[in-house]
Chain A
Amino acid sequence: MSGRLLQVDDRKVWLLEEGSGSPLLYLHGFADLHSVKENWLPFHERLLRKARVIAPAHPGCAQSEENGDVESVEDVVFHYLEVIDALGLKEFDLVGACVGGWIAAEIAVRHPEKIRQLVLVGAAGLFVEGAPIGDLFMMAQPERGLSYAGLRQMLFSSADHPKALEFFPDGRGGLEDELRRYQMLRFSSRIGFRPPYFYNRSLKNRLRRISAPALVLWGEEDHMVPLGHGETYAHSIPRAGLKVIQQAGHSVQVEMADLTAQMVLDFIADR
């Protein structure tokens, strides 16, 4: 593992960085590195064979310092603009999953010139009439004090998916993993709890500013951010294509790690 603390202004940001090639900034979601595991997951391992993957942990996640000033996605965007400057990145590929996908889209509409190619995986961030984003926080309250089946069902195609059971076990998992999950919920509650719930109504009309080619990847059975959101992203970003992955839920990068990573790599290489 190749983690390090990056000093950004007065804050410390934990990140993993590995691989060579053009830089790829990865912003994590829930069933993801930093949120459930300390290290790269198979999806990222495939990416870093072909690219220099940089994956910072959101403020308050993993060893990244918490930032009490974060109250909206706007605050996170400016946090990442400083991270990008501190890393010396001028132009890069940007990949984000779930909440990370939302943040990625918000960065891309503000600084289209920085983005070489954009990949959104089950990204939150949009308001789509009749297709509300699922209440992850309610599902994070266990049933009978023990069962996280509701949370697994929301984040995966099925509550019994082996990866779902590994990442969100019933009862109590390892202390560090439990803490990671909590930190991610706490971070995301700062920007996504209060209605608007994980979305910014202004984002949709801003997406036309994105000039980079974009790939929108979605699990067909996404129970958290419905597929309609993927379709809306794909329609609203000028040079976007939508790929729907069959028999996968919200966390496609986990459920179909190889396939999803290959799609990302093919897309990036295709430029």
Chain B
Amino acid sequence: MKPVQLFCWHFMAYPYLDKDFDEKYDSGWVTVPNRLWDNDKARGLYREYIDQLAYADELGFDGMVLNEHHQNIYGLMPSPNLIAAALTQRTTRGKIVVLGNLLPLHLNPMRVAEEYAMLDQMSNGRLIAGFAPGGGPETFNYDVPSANSREKFWEAVDLIVRAWTEDGPFAHEGRYYPLRYVNPWPKPLQKPLPPIWIPGSRSASTLVEVAKRGFSFFLSSRSHGGETHKAQQQFAQVLAQHGDSYRPSRFGILMSAYVSESDRQAREECEEGVWYFLKNCLKGHLRREGRQLTFGPGVPYIPAPAWKEFLKNSQPGGRLLGDVANWEELDASQSIIVGSAETVYRRIWKMVEQAKAGNLLIQFHIGNMPAEITRKSMALFAKEVAPALREQSLKLFEQEFSAAAENQTAETVH
């Protein structure tokens, strides 16, 4: 049994927007004018962000998490594999989690199979392979028609897994990716294959597809509390229906954290970065201001009956994370955990206890947060929060998930 695994998540946001960005621009996504990019300011930005991730490795985090986004100021990693490649040469211990490559954006998923295999070889078997279908923004900026995107996505996932686990060459007679010669060189180092993580909301169909294949699930929702607990229970139930059993290592959640010497100091130090993230980075994604592209009738990827359920169970114009009016509301969302080491520990521990999540993906660099305080927060977390989380979670997980339930083979695989 493993304790909770602590990962350092980075978005690599564009941090140099003027203070009036929110007033002047409708969105931070897809249509945000790229003339706002300032080469003088941004010189060395990637180096700094990669340094922060390498620092996480030095501090003993269990891994570093990268993600793929396009045409926005929220995340400057159109190709997370490039950053992952850099990390294979800059780090030695932690897992490199690419969460994930957006499969429908590739003409041929074998490119992802090949690049991930390279990363696994280059990192000496440290890759965690994430696959995602992409959301509304990619529907627009990569012109991914959405009606069949889920079907297409799972065909691509299955093809990649087969390419990694079966000897080639073989022909893939798929509907979307018919290929005559599937024969990747290299294959991954980890056998039979690297762990696979799939992000998703609480969509039942995603949970089922993940459970069927024995993958791990990462809840991409940013707000925590009762909903996260429900997601865990739902996943556990789906796993049971597929003859599998829930283990904490199968479930991950995302949050942001900022640790400082005291609660007050923490808030003072991070507040600017936090508001930059909420108001600028989330505009067009998790804010109702402007035109939110992530979800809606213009990206009709869910079947009509599921849309009907959504309509029945939701109110139009509801507030999203980026719409919080003040610090107290933000605090209540449990999305961004700010405080002294003691406070941050207490709040995160509560989430772990409640959600039984074995993988905590924590964003330390928030919005335009300066490098020095980001590092200070990471170091404080590693030194003063992580040890207790590991110790307590190991106890809890051992108590609740008996050693018998922890199938050792499955553990190494996924």
A residues contacting B by CB (< 8 A) are 60, 66, 68, 71, 136-146, 150, 171-172, 175, 178-179, 181-183, 185-186, 189-190, 193-195
Contacts and interface: CB of A to CB of B under 8 A. Distances in A.
A145 B299 CA distance: 14
Contact of B307 (A139, A150, A182): A182
A58 B358 CA distance: 47
Interface of B: 136, 139-140, 143-148, 151, 288-293, 296-300, 303-304, 307-308, 311-312, 315-318
Contact of B143 (A68, A145, A194): A194
B285 to A, nearest CB: 12
8 A-B pairs with the lowest CB-CB distances in the bound complex, closest first? A140-B298, A186-B300, A145-B317, A145-B288, A146-B317, A137-B298, A193-B145, A141-B298
A171 B316 CA distance: 6
Contacts of A143: 290-291
A185 B297 contact: yes
A195 B143 CA distance: 7
Contacts of A172: 311, 315-316
Contacts of A189: 145-147, 300
B140 A140 contact: no
Given A144-B317, A145-B318, 13 more contacts: A68-B147, A137-B140, A138-B291, A141-B296, A142-B316, A145-B317, A171-B316, A179-B307, A182-B307, A186-B147, A189-B146, A194-B144, A194-B145
A179 B309 CA distance: 10
Contacts of B316: 142, 145-146, 171-172
B301 to A, nearest CB: 8
B296 A140 contact: yes
A185 B143 contact: no
A137 B299 CA distance: 7
A242 to B, nearest CB: 31
A186 B301 CA distance: 7
Contacts of B298: 136-141, 185
5 contacts: A66-B304, A140-B298, A144-B317, A181-B297, A194-B145
A58 to B, nearest CB: 13
Nearest to A61: B304
Contacts of B296: 140-142
